[in-house]
Each structure stands twice: as structure tokens, then as C-alpha cells.
Structure 1
């Protein structure tokens, strides 16, 4: 892939080195790392992070967004602090909290750093999972962390914390799910968006072979076909995106090593769904493919 001339020389050098080093990435996939549906996803994410940009991984549930973040952490040999967003997340969950402790037998107040402060001070990656699950009024706390300032005034200590070199933010978003809210434009504009689609075909077959206990090639091919049918059904609005989760499909593959495939699909995929019509649709597909 040709590097754009606008990229600084050191960035181009690191990217070209990464592109040549396919052996390490192949080994990473074999050990359970993220398998990208195309090379551009990896290159674009690496480019953004090398330029000091925040990246937002956007895609359906079970497509591998968290696995991708872990893979980027591995590729950069960079530890990663994580935040699992929810409606209950608040400033203490992000930044830290004060607690009473003892020092030379005297009781003192100590501040315990949270994931944002830890990542900034140590110069590591910060991963915010399901960022749009957090309440809209909570996230503006870290706006200064996400823009050119890379700093924040800690409301618990009144200290200004500036991120050390190497600090980067990776966030993930599932749009349109229950409990999520749209990201406001001010927050979204602080990210480079990377779309993470489901992998299919030969890549999915390779993923199943390398990451599950299923060895029967005929069954593997049938599960690849099942995944393709589920993704198509999602596109047609027949079932929700969670029914086509690659994570759930891999669970079904593992189970089918020990129990009948149709029952594995029921346990790992169908029974997770709320609507009877969706469960029936999936089991009808399973009956057709695995009878």
C-alpha cells in the first residue's frame, strides 16, 4: 500500500515496517488476535494511532471490536486501561476517587487514580467500551483528554493532569441498541471512525479453525454458510444484529464438537434472542443446514 506524502517520514517508516511484518500478525491471529476483513482496517487504525488520533470502532455486536483494541495494544506493545461504559458510570469511575488510609499511623485522605488518569500518567492506551451506553452528561468530563490539549483538571485534587507520550484513546460503539444514546457531535468529532464489519467466507473459516475446537471441515463450512445467511437476514431486517454475532457463532462451533450442531446453535445463538419469531427463524436455518 502506498503511503500518502502528507504523512511524516517517521510515520511512513513505522507503517511500512508494520506492513512487511506479516509473520508476527499471522502468529497473533493464530493465538486469538483480531482477524481483519481487509488490510486497510489495520493500516488505517495504526496510522491514526501513530498520528496521536483517537479512534472509534463502530460496528455490530460480536464483530470483534474489543478483540481489535486488544490486538492494537499488542501490536504497539502498549498496555491498555479499560472502561466498560454503562448508565451508572460517573466521574469517579473515569478519574478515580478519594479514600481514607493510614500513613505513619495517621489517617490521611488518598486519591486512587481511575483508568483515565492511569492511562494518561503512564502513557498507555485507554479503551472505552460501548461509549454510547454512558449518560450524555458524563462524557464531557473527558473532552479535554480527547482533543489537542490532552489534559484534564482533576476535580477531586484540583491538579492538572497532562497525558504522557504514548497515550491514545480507543473507543467502541454499538449503534441502535437498547440503552444506547447517540454521541453528541462535539464528542464524535474527537475521533477517527473505523468501521468493523463481520468477517465472512474463507476468513471466517480460518477464524473458526484457529479459534475453536471444531475440526470437522464439513461442519466448519456449514457454520460459515449459517453466518452468511444470518448476516443477509440482518440486512433484510428479519433478525437483529446480535443474532449474527461472530462471538456467538464461535461458541456454537465449540459446543458442536460435543453436542449436535442444531442444539449448539440453539444454546449459543437462538436462545439469547427475545423474540419468538427470530428464534424460530434461526432454528429453521439450522434445520435446513444441519439436518
Structure 2
């Protein structure tokens, strides 16, 4: 027996609008937007957000998770409030804080909303970066924001805040880094997970052409080959993910328009690595190619 699945009308409209506006999306890419490795990655993210589901972008450092979130924000024409997680993240960093203000000559206590409250009240996107850097006891504060309720009781004002139409949540995670903690199941279950792989081959070449000042095709091809070799080295456990960061590679491409490519790679990639053996490995690759 075959089951036919109907795509909800609002998603059909959104996806058809995306296809009709392919030129607009291409313009967004030319202006620094995220170039996905495949069409499905973009469509799946659009679909989830259209259904008001939270998405968790999971992938190696420098693969473009933040840039993808910014691109989705632009496609939905929604501003985006940001939370940068760390071990110091607390309720005030998420929700806001009280401060002294004046009404005429009278001193009053005023509440300044933080990124979560702002995004909910304005009906815009909320981006939570490196969500697994936060202390496990902090994020449960926003569990009600991340599920069907879309509400929170502001502990500073006792006001119940309900998210306005258009509110969406995108989070990003880097796994296995110092200072990160595993997400608890209650939090993870509030997200649809989208794996963000490294960009390679022709797509990386296009990204370099549209997002850096490097225009020499031969040099671009060499940087694409370097990136491919570094990604394989990461998979083989020879170097840390930092070595294959696409962000760092783009920095090296930019620098190489003014200084020799080998020195550009040294500054943008090699000198960031912690271990001597990793630095030596990347240096040998660089000298072989350049």
C-alpha cells in the first residue's frame, strides 16, 4: 500500500516562491550568503522553519553554520537576534536585565529585554550559537520558548511573554570541543537536526570567487585542492577540524591577493593549530601545492 503525503500549502507556496526567486537567491550568494552543498539542505531548512520548528545546525567549525543562519534570515526577510553561548551565559544574557531609568524627575526601575525576549516580541529569528557551550542549568530557562507553547514567564518582571508570528529559532553546535557539554535529551528533542558538511569542489570554487578578492583561477584551484586534502586529513584524524575551516580558507584566499599564498596559509590556518605535528602536516601540504 502506497501512502501519499501532502505538503502543507504554506510550504508549497514558500518553496515555489524560492524557485521563482532563484535569481534573488543567486544575488544573495554573490553578496556573501551561504552556498549549500546541495539543494535539499536549503529546502529542508526552509520547510522546517516554515512549520515553526526549531532547527539545530550541526557540523564542523568553519563549515558555514552561522552564515547559513544569516542566509535563512535573509530569505525569510526576518531580522535575527543573537545569543553567543559560553559558560558565563546566564538568565540576564538570555532574557534581559533591570536598570535604573528616569520618568521626568522620578527614578524608576526599567527592564531592558535581551535577545530571547526581543525576538519573541518582534516576531523575528533567534540564533543561538554554540548552544552546547552553555551550562546545562541555564538553557532549561527557555524550554517553553522552544516547544509548542512558545511562551516564557519573565523571572525579572513576572510577565508571561508569548512569541509573535514570525518567531523562529536556529541553533548551532560544535561537538567535541573543550568547554562543550552534551545536550540533554529534553533540549535536543526540541530541534530538527540539519547536518552541515564541508563545502567542496565546484561549490567551494564558486564560494571563493564570490566571497573573496582572489580571482586567479589557477590559484583558486590550488586552494580547492588544499581544502579537499585538509578535509580528508580531518576524517583520518591527522589534524583538528580547525585546519579545514572554510572560514579560515577564505581568509587565506583574501590574504593571498597581497602576500604569497604560502604565507597567507601560514597566517590564516597553520598558526591557529595547537600541535606541532598538525602545523607541520599542513605546512608540507602547502609547500607541495604552492
Structure 2 regions of 5+ residues with no counterpart? none
Query: What is aligned with 1:192?
Result: 192
Query: What is aligned with 1:151?
Result: 151
How far residue 166 of structure 1 moved from its aligned partner, in angstroms, is: 0.5
How far residue 254 of structure 1 moved from its aligned partner, in angstroms, is: 0.7
Query: What is aligned with 2:234?
Result: 234
Could you give the per-residue CA deviations for residues 245-285 of structure 1, whole angstroms, max 9, x where no partner exists? Answer: 00000001111111111111110000001100000000000
How far residue 69 of structure 1 moved from its aligned partner, in angstroms, is: 0.5
How far residue 6 of structure 1 moved from its aligned partner, in angstroms, is: 3.3
SS in 2 for 1:83: strand
SS in 2 for 1:7: coil
The residue correspondences of 1:144-183 to structure 2 (distance < 5 A) are: 144-183=144-183
How far residue 7 of structure 1 moved from its aligned partner, in angstroms, is: 2.5
Structure 1 regions of 5+ residues with no counterpart? none
Could you give the per-residue CA deviations for residues 163-193 of structure 1, whole angstroms, max 9, x where no partner exists? Answer: 0011000000001111111100000000000
Query: What is aligned with 2:20?
Result: 20
Which shifted more, 271-280 or 20-29?
Answer: 20-29
How far residue 239 of structure 1 moved from its aligned partner, in angstroms, is: 0.3
Query: What is aligned with 2:126?
Result: 126
TM-score w.r.t. the length of structure 1 is 0.97
TM-score w.r.t. the length of structure 2 is 0.98
Determine the C-alpha separation between the residues in 2 that align with 1:158 and 1:145.
15
The residue correspondences of 1:237-248 to structure 2 (distance < 5 A) are: 237-248=237-248
Query: What is aligned with 2:89?
Result: 89
SS in 2 for 1:135: coil
State yes or no: 1:56 paired with 2:62: no
SS in 2 for 1:271: helix
How far residue 49 of structure 1 moved from its aligned partner, in angstroms, is: 0.4
Query: What is aligned with 1:10?
Result: 10
Determine the C-alpha separation between the residues in 2 that align with 1:201 and 1:120.
39
Determine the C-alpha separation between the residues in 1 that align with 2:241 and 2:272.
12
Q: Which runs of 4+ in 1 moved over 3 A?
A: none
Cα RMSD (Å) of the superposition? 0.8
Query: What is aligned with 2:139?
Result: 139
Query: What is aligned with 2:109?
Result: 109
Q: Given that residues 10 and 50 in structure 2 are in contact (C-alpha distance below 8 angstroms), is that contact kept between their aligned partners in structure 1?
A: no
SS in 2 for 1:215: coil
Determine the C-alpha separation between the residues in 2 that align with 1:130 and 1:240.
18
Determine the C-alpha separation between the residues in 1 that align with 2:251 and 2:232.
20
Query: What is aligned with 2:79?
Result: 79
The residue correspondences of 1:194-233 to structure 2 (distance < 5 A) are: 194-233=194-233
The residue correspondences of 1:261-276 to structure 2 (distance < 5 A) are: 261-276=261-276
Q: Given that residues 132 and 173 in structure 2 are in contact (C-alpha distance below 8 angstroms), is that contact kept between their aligned partners in structure 1?
A: yes
Could you give the per-residue CA deviations for residues 130-154 of structure 1, whole angstroms, max 9, x where no partner exists? Answer: 0001000000000000000000000
SS in 2 for 1:280: helix
How far residue 19 of structure 1 moved from its aligned partner, in angstroms, is: 2.3
